[in-house]
Structure 1
Amino acid sequence: MNRATSVVIVLLLAALGIGATYLAQRSSAPRIAAEQRAIDSRRLLDLLPADSYDNQPLEQPLRLDTAVLANSTLQGGYLATKAGQPTIVLLRSQSMGYAGSIDLLIAIAVNGKLVAVKTLRQSETPGLGARIADWPNAWLNDFAGRSRNEPADNRWALKKDQGEFDQIAGATITSRTVINAIHDALRYFDEHRQQLIGDTSHE
């Protein structure tokens, strides 16, 4: 076998290898994307009780325009359903904390009661306000079961501000920010309940 023939064979084998790799990547791409969506879904939706929905909420976004509220901004939302009926609305909220923006995912049952809150992003002081990102989060869990008027509007505040709630130790501003954002979301849900629950097809 002469040198030219050897070079041609090597090039053909290389081309075949590249082609096989390309085809393998193309065929596995949908599976990889599906697995990544499942991971993202679990990370975002682990604040919901497992038996509270049977759809894929992240694939059922609400037609919700960005809404600037009194203390926060709503940047979208999702609808969880079970047997075709709405069960929980998830609202993505952003507000300014001590060191930067705090992004929350706020889950509200169709009866207007808070199910859970999860921090998606924050840049608060490590060891203080940054504890808002711990999961599970005992401080955030204390808000479960609350609604727009439970407690009354003027009690949606820290105890040091004559309100109902304790603060995260050493993180007064972070605590105020989150309390106000949660109350904003509950108020928005109460005022737009029909739009939020009825704005997405449940089939």
Structure 2
Amino acid sequence: MSRARGVLVLLLLAGSGIAATAWLQRFATPLIATQQKALQSQKILSLLLPGSYDNQPLDQPLALAEPQLATSRLLAGYRATRAARPSAILLHSQVQGYGGPIQLLIAIGANGKLLAIKPLAHNESPGLGAQIALTPNPWLASFAGKSLGNPAEPAWALKKDNGQFDQLAGATLTSRATVSAVHDALRYFDEHRAQLLGEGAHD
């Protein structure tokens, strides 16, 4: 009798454990998903200055026409607004680096000038191309204020390629890929300005 009672207790405990696990999973999964979304949003939107937007850009991704560009591909796009006026366009770009794909988030102001660039993922070599992920990153910061016409088209290249831009030390391919991706993004913005900024946008 005691053995049967012991087995029954074990079964009850096992059943309670399974029920508790299912309950926790049911209620914890949405919370975890919400927290992960918040962290991803914070990671992406940290590229924009506080107070420069008052919407939730990631909640309304843009439909990007012809995302395959000359040397890179656009994976996503978002519009930041302030007082219902466009303040920035965020373009999630992917370009082939030395060690594999490099994913960049490129922020472009409504006036077509680069605001900031942030690497989201890469497989570049430690100590070389991986420098692209350093924070702060003076090299990426040097792109701020540039636009499609500043510098002129031929200058959108590394100095060793007769262009205007320095490179990350020892990381020619990483640097070249980044410059090309940024130039692609600016060209795309210029060609699709009306669609990206939306109707009634002000340059």
Same fold (TM over 0.5): yes
Task: State whether residues 77 and 92 of structure 1, in contact with CA within 8 Å, keep that contact through their aligned partners in structure 2.
Answer: yes
Structure 2: which amino acid aligns with 1:54?
Answer: D
What is residue 144 of structure 1 aligned with on the other side? 144
Q: 1 CA distance for matches of 2:112 and 2:15?
A: 61
- Where do 1:1-203 residues align within 5 Å? 2-198=2-198
Q: 1 CA distance for matches of 2:180 and 2:108?
A: 15
- TM-score calculated relative to the size of structure 2: 0.89
Superposed CA deviations along residues 97-138 of structure 1, whole A, max 9, x for unmatched, are 223222211111111111111112222222112211223311
Q: 1 CA distance for matches of 2:140 and 2:197?
A: 24
Superposed CA deviations along residues 23-62 of structure 1, whole A, max 9, x for unmatched, are 1221222221111111111222221112222222222211
Unaligned runs of 5+ in 2: none
- TM-score calculated relative to the size of structure 1: 0.89
Task: State whether residues 87 and 109 of structure 1, in contact with CA within 8 Å, keep that contact through their aligned partners in structure 2.
Answer: yes
| Residue aligned with 2:14, SS | helix
| Residue aligned with 1:117, SS | strand
| Residue aligned with 2:103, SS | strand
> Percentage identity across aligned positions?
57
Superposed CA deviations along residues 174-196 of structure 1, whole A, max 9, x for unmatched, are 21211111011001101101111
Per-residue deviation, 1:63: 0.8
Per-residue deviation, 1:65: 4.0
Q: 2 CA distance for matches of 1:189 and 1:34?
A: 31
RMSD: 1.8
Q: 2 CA distance for matches of 1:6 and 1:168?
A: 69
- Shifted more, 63-72 versus 175-184: the winner is 63-72
Q: 1 CA distance for matches of 2:48 and 2:117?
A: 9
| Residue aligned with 1:52, SS | coil
Structure 2: which amino acid aligns with 1:28?
Answer: A
Q: 2 CA distance for matches of 1:190 and 1:94?
A: 19
- Shifted more, 24-33 versus 188-197: the winner is 24-33
Structure 2: which amino acid aligns with 1:51?
Answer: G
| Residue aligned with 2:125, SS | coil
